[in-house]
Amino acid sequence: MSLQEEIARHRTFAIISHPDAGKTTLTEKLLLFGGAIHVAGAVKSNKIKKTATSDWMEIEKQRGISVATSVMGFNYGDYKINILDTPGHQDFAEDTYRTLTAVDSVIIVVDVAKGVEQQTRKLMEVCRMRNTPVIIFVNKLDREGRDPFDILDELENELKIAVRPLSWPINIGAKFKGVYNIYEQGLDLFKPDKQKVTERIEIDDVNDPAIDQAVGEADASKLREDLELIEGVYPEFDVDAYLRGEVAPVFFGSALNTFGVKELLDCFVKIAPSPRPTQAEERKIEPQEDAFTGFVFKIHANMDPNHRSCIAFVKVCSGKFERNANYKHVRSGKMMRFAAPTAFMAQKKSVVDEAYPGDIVGIPDTGNFKIGDTLTSGENLHFKGLPSFSPEMFKYIENTDPMKSKQLEKGIQQLMDEGVAQLFVNQFNGRKIIGTVGQLQFEVIQYRLLHEYGAQCRWEPISLYKACWIESDDAAALDAFKKRKHQFMAIDRDGRDVFLADSNYVLQMAQADFPAIRFHFTSEF
């Protein structure tokens, strides 16, 4: 197959939502249709002992939440699909934001009872900044929830995007009978089953008497009224407007019962974009260029607990990635070759000989990579848009077992490489401070240090408002600032100066008193 044909058949997308909307369950069912797994796991269930494929970390199985982005690739028909299942919990939002830089489109999952929630709004803003095409899947229709028209209005108002339903439910909750597929003109009847696919009735159009026989006359006439209203209110579905990120197609279903998922997948592979151009600082990179380029958007420690190895996730942007070829690591200027690059099915890995634009490749990392690093066939390129945000919560990290200080040191270093949190060393007392976006991160770090590195730590409180990176063209002013604020000064892992403000007032006063100093709230400047 030529490079052009390979690019055309690739689809790389992320599944995002508020926690508990059913994101990981939807991922499981998509894998089931792709033949990648044969029995779908459950996120929380006493009867089904198999856990969800994408929630493979021990802490994820215990909590029933996703704490890290998983990558899964499989073939579906003529298409190669790469799914990135992201954490919904806001404490892991930074991982999700970075993941969105590596995908070409997004599926947002919305709970029919709860509607649009806070985290969904934030994620939609990130999609809008990048003009990422969005498909919305309204989930849990087998439970009591809100009227579908109300949900559509809320999606438009809250997510600030035009919507167009491409499937429509017949009742919801206890009376839920199925979904009419507007996109393909078909009727799917609902039978609750967590493993099998539902029965489909082929029809010519919405006036087909087969609908009356299947769902009863009353529901059939209500369906026709609803569809007439949809045609009157919403414009025809325009694929180009979807690709520009202006309109979001909406599907209805129940991921847990494997219902409405195939319709979503069939439509998705037809309309979703193949890999798109990527903007580097130097120029725009087209996927069909012959030379290989890619960037590291995620690093994960201990995917295989037996080997204690780190893996860098590289998104291929252009050309063809080949095993054992020489590639340039732009930040260090070194040429590197990779003998065992891997493709993913969550935790399971298999060695790949080649990868194409849109694919995610895992490269064993012995401390060479940082998030945002670029690999090329030789050209000096820098991809942008992978920031670290200023943390909002801070704690001192202390070693509770002096015999294990090496393990703790290594554990902190590898977990910080992942970008889950940030490490600052206080210049006044030399103590290590961990900064995160949310409380849950501290629990995850403590758990992983103990179970993956055998190191025990304890947290001690510290009252800080914000960490900001500082720089100045005036060396004397910078020096004066550091002397005046010496007990609030720290350095980050790259040796940059960081000012730890303990209140908003102190930060504003510092900005007023030292006009020559620039304060940054993301690490990318």
Domain chopping of the chain, boundaries: 8-70+88-271, 278-376, 393-520
Residue-wise burial string across 126-148, b where 16 or more C-beta atoms lie within 10 A, e elsewhere? bbeeeebbbbbbbbbbbeebeeb
**pLDDT greater than 50 at residue 48:** no
The architecture that CATH gives domain 8-70+88-271 is: 3-Layer(aba) Sandwich (3.40)
Q: What is the DSSP string of 57-122?
A: SHHHHHHTS--S-EEEEEEETTEEEEEEEPP-SGGGHHHHHHHGGG-SEEEEEEETTTBS-HHHHH
Section 307-314 average pLDDT: 73
393-520 shares the fold of 8-70+88-271: no
**CA nearest neighbour of 108 among 79, 86, 91:** 86
Average confidence score pLDDT of the chain: 79
Q: Compute the C-alpha angle 49/55/61, nearest 5°.
A: 55
Each residue of 388-416: b (16+ CB within 10 Å) or e?
bbbbebbbbbebeeeebeebbeebbebbb
DSSP per-residue string spanning 471-488? E-S-HHHHHHHHHHTGGG
pLDDT, average across residues 166-176:
81
**What's the rounded Cα separation, in Å, for the pair 71 and 346?**
5
CB 84 within 8 A of CB 14: yes
Architecture of the structural domain at 278-376: 3-Layer(aba) Sandwich (3.40)
| pLDDT at residue 84 tops 60 | yes
Non-local (6+) Cβ contacts of 2 within 8 A are none
DSSP structure class, residue 141:
T
Quote the tokens at residue 353. 């000989």
Amino acid sitting at position 244: R
pLDDT band at 443 (very low <50, low <70, confident <90, very high): confident
Quote the CA–CA distance of 402 and 451 in Å, as a whole number: 17
3-state secondary structure 281-325: CCCEECCCCCCCEEEEEEEEECCCCCCCCEEEEEEEEECCEECCC
Which residues are registered as beta bridge partners of 514? none
484-506: average pLDDT: 89
pLDDT at position 230, please? 85
Do 164 and 235 contact (CB within 8 A), yes or no?
yes
What confidence tens digit (pLDDT) does each residue in 261-286 have?
888 888 888 888 888 888 888 888 89
The larger pLDDT score, comparing residue 142 to residue 163, is at: 163
Q: What SS3 class is residue 223?
A: helix
> Is the torsion defined by CA of 417, 73, 51, 113 positive or negative?
positive
**Dihedral of CA 88/391/294/243: which sign?**
positive
Give me the phi and psi of 417, to 5 degrees please. Answer: -60, -35
Query: In angstroms, rounded to a whole number, what is the distance separating the alpha carbons of residues 12 and 127?
Result: 14
DSSP reduced 3-state for 257: coil
CATH superfamily for 393-520 is Peptide chain release factor 3, domain III (3.30.70.3280)
482 C-beta neighbours (distance < 10 Å), count? 16
pLDDT of residue 348: 59
- 490 falls in which pLDDT band (50, 70, 90)? very high
Q: Considering only CA atoms, which of 13, 315, 229 is closest in space to residue 134?
A: 13
For residue range 3-45, list pLDDT tens digits in order.
Answer: 888 888 888 888 887 777 777 788 777 777 766 444 434 433 3
